[in-house]
Amino acid sequence: MTIPKESLNKHAELCLQLHHHNYLYHSLNTPQISDTEYDQLMRQLLEIERDLPELVNPNSPSQRVGSSPESGFRQIAHNRPMLSLENAFSTEDLREFDARLKRFMGSDESIEYLCEMKLDGVAVELVYQQGQLQHASTRGDGQVGEEVTANARTIGAIPLQLQADAPQLLEVRGEVYMELSPFRQLNEQRRDEGEKTFANPRNATAGSLRQLDPRITANRPLTISCYGLGEIHSVNPPTSQLEMLQKLREWGLRVNLETVALARDIDEVLEQYQKMLAKRDSLPFEIDGMVVKVNSFALQQELGEKSRTPRWAIACKFPPRQAETILESVRFQVGRTGAITPVANLRPINVSGVTVSSASLHNWDEIERLGVRIGDRVIVERAGDVIPDIVKVVLEKRSGDEQPIPEPTICPVCSSPVTRGSGEVVPRCQGLACPARLKESLKHFASRGAMDIEGLGDRFVEQLLKVGLVHNVADLYRLTKEDFFRLERMGDVLAEKLLAAIDSSRTQPLERLLFGLGIRHVGVHLAKILNRRFGNLEGLRQASRETLIETHEVGPQVADSLLALFADDHNLEVLSQLEKFGVQPDTSISPQGAALAGKIFVFTGKLERFSRSEGEGLVEIQGGRASGSVSKKTDFLIAGPGAGSKLSKAEQLGVKVLGEDEFLQLIKEASEED
Ligand code: IVH
């Protein structure tokens, strides 16, 4: 099929506009359109690409959402080695560096340096040919790194396409990092969901960049600052470090130009060091030092490099923000999902200007790794998170009276049982009525994706709890108008509105109720599956572990969390009260086609047109079922490139094998039949 010329032009125009606005936003920090306008352009692009998938290419601005998961990282050799830096720890070291260069040059003339911040993240190389991003790799051992192109494409600050005047070939190096505020938000979210928190932004960056699933990277707030070159093919290459940074920015790359400073000699370098050190705590990102580089490229070339480090640059490390104190006791915090986080109570100590009295212990894995006990002398470090970390135990100072940190078996707030699934690092309180969980749980229960009780947000939830009107989600359904009048700033109209919203939520679909209860691992999609399989709450309650696990997509993790929910008396009481107060969820199964009823599908190989779960979803919508393994009962095997043992088994058994396109055609026909 030939693509209409208008569509081709429109597509090219939209790509150009989106690349341009991305550049203005990320590289120049001077957006010219609002987020909504940007979203509108993106929506138009997505529409064209949906109708004409031939137009999609890896560097289209639409591709930042993340492609399907990879099975491993390819090794990639750098054209020019990615060097590391020698460290200077004192003023003397820096003066010695300057003196060494002068000796090497055989001249006493002052050397001009560029001082840059040493960002604490992960070094990457981006390769652009004819202005298009070809690939991205990590530093690795300096000679060979790991390819992270699919992940790099999801980072908004990495241009997929450079400005028109960029060199034919540009290999650019920079630091991928996470700013402090989004880093803290990410950790907070992970803490709330009972996931492992990251000790510092660098670990969070490394973990995000090394994700096999780029869709996860796409949701991590990564950015980049470029500071160096690999190979460059240009008619007019830059002649100094500062000029290079300026050109990189002109070509479309993100450079922290505002934070660099030229120094005419080593004395000015030392002044810059003090200035950067003083700024360290007010920056929106972590730096762990200052990098000093000879500014002139000609001089850099003359000085050359040693085996792993250039002679023309040095890193001046900042002193770590650490101090020694005593771990006096441990308290436990309980989040919405019941996740219990241990927090260390420390003897207050000043760590580079800030008084620290508690530290995160993250989870029991971390406690074991540190081998820390109550009463230990510990080294605490401020490293990005609001709550500092314990980095080390001073074992030499143990008296022998130190006590192990106990893992709670009952919730410290509500005394419900606490469980920790196999392989999990976080113990959880199972009590739905736990006060600490209650506030967040109530907000989640009322939220749009769950029971959708309009108006019941932060403010009223907090007041309802404070006045003591609500102790669990079921209590919402016995509130009267008079009860509402006890809340601040509550009038007749508002009270009626809230009551009506609560009332109409009584018949929300069962999947919304299940999701709203905040059962660990049970999102809306799984809640739908449970509704479809078990029909009502009672059916679900009576299901055995085996029956649960046999249910498609319900693994042992989900089964265990459902079993724990129903094993707790508090929870059973809440569920029975919900029923008593008239919550009768709609258990009719959400509309679904029947064209593929009873048909069993298996997916294998690297799927390129859709993800596995998307494919499974498409099958389910048409009434079919997806399974993980091929057997005589399998009706169709959907095989992408690289299909192996499942494909040969299907062929042996005579199971019909379809390619991705044939499968999509089948789904299309099935939906037309309905
Ligand atoms: S220059 C040959 N500049 O520090 C020059 N590195 O220990 C090599 N880093 O691997 C690097 N900010 O990850 C340079 N402004 C900066 C930097 C920087 C952070 C990191 C980078 C590198 C490590 C060197």
- Residue 17 forms part of a structural domain: yes
Give the distance from CA 233 to its chain's centroid.
36
For a ligand 1 pocket test, name from 83, 87, 119, 173 the mutation site with the most ligand atoms within 8 angstroms of its C-beta.
119
Q: Are 169 and 129 in contact (CB under 8 A)?
A: yes
For 240, 467, 659, the CA distances from 298, given in Å and listed in that order, are 8, 74, 57
For 334, 634, 655, 656, 663, the CA distances from 645, given in Å and listed in that order, are 45, 15, 13, 15, 20
Q: How far apart are CA 198 and CA 200, in angstroms?
A: 6
Cα of 324 vs centre of ligand 1, distance in Å, is: 30
- Residue 215 forms part of a structural domain: yes
Q: Is residue 335 exposed (0-12), middle (13-18) or buried (19+ Cβ within 10 Å)?
A: buried
Q: How far apart are CA 34 and CA 567, in angstroms?
A: 51
Count helices and strands in the chain by DSSP H and E runs:
24, 24
Q: How far apart are CA 260 and CA 272, in angstroms?
A: 9
- Residue 68 forms part of a structural domain: no
DSSP code per residue over 443-501: HHHHSTTTT--TT--HHHHHHHHHHT--SSGGGGGG--HHHHHTSTT--HHHHHHHHHH
Q: Using CA positions, which residue lies closest to atom 13 of ligand 1? A: 123
Q: How far apart are CA 319 and CA 94, in angstroms?
A: 15
Phi first, then psi, for residue 356 (nearest 5°) are: -115, 125
DSSP code, position 353: T
Q: Characterize 5-26 residue by residue with b for buried, 16 or more Cβ atoms within 10 angstroms of its Cβ, and e for exposed.
A: eeeeebbeebbebbbbbbbebb
pLDDT at 64: 80
Do 49 and 113 fall into the same domain? Answer: no
Residue 586, classed as helix, strand or coil, is: strand
Do 89 and 114 fall into the same domain? Answer: yes
Please work out whether the CB of residue 139 comes within 6 Å of at least one atom of ligand 1: yes
Q: Give the global pTM.
A: 0.65
Please work out whether the CB of residue 118 comes within 6 Å of at least one atom of ligand 1: yes
Do 605 and 544 fall into the same domain? Answer: no
Strands (E), 318-416: 322-334, 340-351, 354-360, 373-374, 377-381, 389-393, 403-404
pLDDT at 213: 83
Residue 40, classed as helix, strand or coil, is: helix
Q: How far apart are CA 529 and CA 522, in angstroms?
A: 10
Cα of 82 vs centre of ligand 1, distance in Å, is: 9
Do 91 and 141 fall into the same domain? Answer: yes
Q: Which of 126, 135, 141, 2 minimizes the C-alpha distance to 82?
A: 141
Instruction: Give the bridge partners for 341, in sequence order.
Output: 333
- Residue 626 forms part of a structural domain: yes
Please work out whether the CB of residue 568 comes within 6 Å of at least one atom of ligand 1: no
Cα of 120 vs centre of ligand 1, distance in Å, is: 9
Q: How far apart are CA 542 and CA 206, in angstroms?
A: 44
Which mean pLDDT values do the consecutive 10-residue runs of the chain (674 residues) have? 87 93 87 81 89 88 74 88 93 96 95 97 97 95 93 95 95 96 83 76 93 85 96 95 97 96 97 94 91 98 92 93 95 85 94 88 88 96 81 94 93 91 83 80 83 88 90 94 91 93 94 86 77 86 88 80 90 93 82 71 80 67 75 89 81 90 85 64
Helix segments in 491-555, DSSP class H? 492-504, 510-516, 524-534, 537-542, 545-550
Q: Which residues contact 360 (CB under 8 A, 6 or more apart)?
A: 197, 341, 343, 344, 385, 387, 388, 389
Do 112 and 253 fall into the same domain? Answer: yes
For 1, 97, 149, 211, 227, the CA distances from 152, given in Å and listed in that order, are 33, 35, 5, 11, 17
Fill in the amino acid letter for 605.
G
Cα of 433 vs centre of ligand 1, distance in Å, is: 51
Q: Which of 96, 90, 124, 84 minimizes the C-alpha distance to 306?
A: 84
- Residue 563 forms part of a structural domain: yes
Instruction: Tell me which of 317, 334, 363 is where a domain ends.
Output: 317
Q: Which residue has the tokens 């600490």?
A: 436
Instruction: Tell me which of 397, 428, 451 is where a domain ends.
Output: 397
Please work out whether the CB of residue 228 comes within 6 Å of at least one atom of ligand 1: yes
Please work out whether the CB of residue 176 comes within 6 Å of at least one atom of ligand 1: no
Helix segments in 196-261, DSSP class H? 201-209, 214-218, 241-251
Give the distance from CA 488 to its chain's centroid.
38
196 is catalytic: no
Do 42 and 84 fall into the same domain? Answer: no
Fill in the amino acid letter for 383.
A
Q: Is residue 639 exposed (0-12), middle (13-18) or buried (19+ Cβ within 10 Å)?
A: buried
Please work out whether the CB of residue 290 comes within 6 Å of at least one atom of ligand 1: no
Domain range for 49:
5-63
- Residue 611 forms part of a structural domain: yes
Ligand 1 atom with the smallest distance to the CA of 310 is: 2
Do 313 and 336 fall into the same domain? Answer: no
Do 289 and 333 fall into the same domain? Answer: no
CA-derived radius of gyration, the chain: 30
pLDDT at 111: 97
DSSP code, position 68: S
Ligand 1 atom with the smallest distance to the CA of 315 is: 7
Q: How far apart are CA 622 and CA 600, in angstroms?
A: 11
- Domain with 627 in it: what CATH number? 3.40.50.10190
- Domain with 495 in it: what CATH number? 1.10.150.20
For a ligand 1 pocket test, name from 82, 84, 242 the mutation site with the most ligand atoms within 8 angstroms of its C-beta.
84
The 8 Å CB, 24+ separation contacts for 525-533 are: 525/553, 525/617, 526/553, 526/554, 526/558, 528/590, 529/553, 529/554, 529/620, 530/554, 530/562, 531/587, 531/589, 531/590, 532/589
- Domain with 367 in it: what CATH number? 2.40.50.140
Cα of 129 vs centre of ligand 1, distance in Å, is: 23
Instruction: Tell me which of 268, 288, 317 is where a domain ends.
Output: 317
Q: Using CA positions, which residue lies closest to atom 17 of ligand 1? A: 118
Please work out whether the CB of residue 229 comes within 6 Å of at least one atom of ligand 1: no
Do 90 and 163 fall into the same domain? Answer: yes
Do 97 and 224 fall into the same domain? Answer: yes
Fill in the amino acid letter for 114.
L
Do 505 and 645 fall into the same domain? Answer: no
- The H-or-E segment that residue 125 falls in is strand 122-129
- Residue 403 forms part of a structural domain: no
Do 54 and 81 fall into the same domain? Answer: no
Ligand 1 atom with the smallest distance to the CA of 117 is: 15
- Domain with 296 in it: what CATH number? 3.30.470.30
In the chain, the number of structural domains is 5
For 106, 293, 314, the CA distances from 113, given in Å and listed in that order, are 18, 5, 11
Q: Catalytic one among 118, 247, 528, 646?
A: 118
Q: How far apart are CA 123 and CA 125, in angstroms?
A: 7
- Residue 586 forms part of a structural domain: no
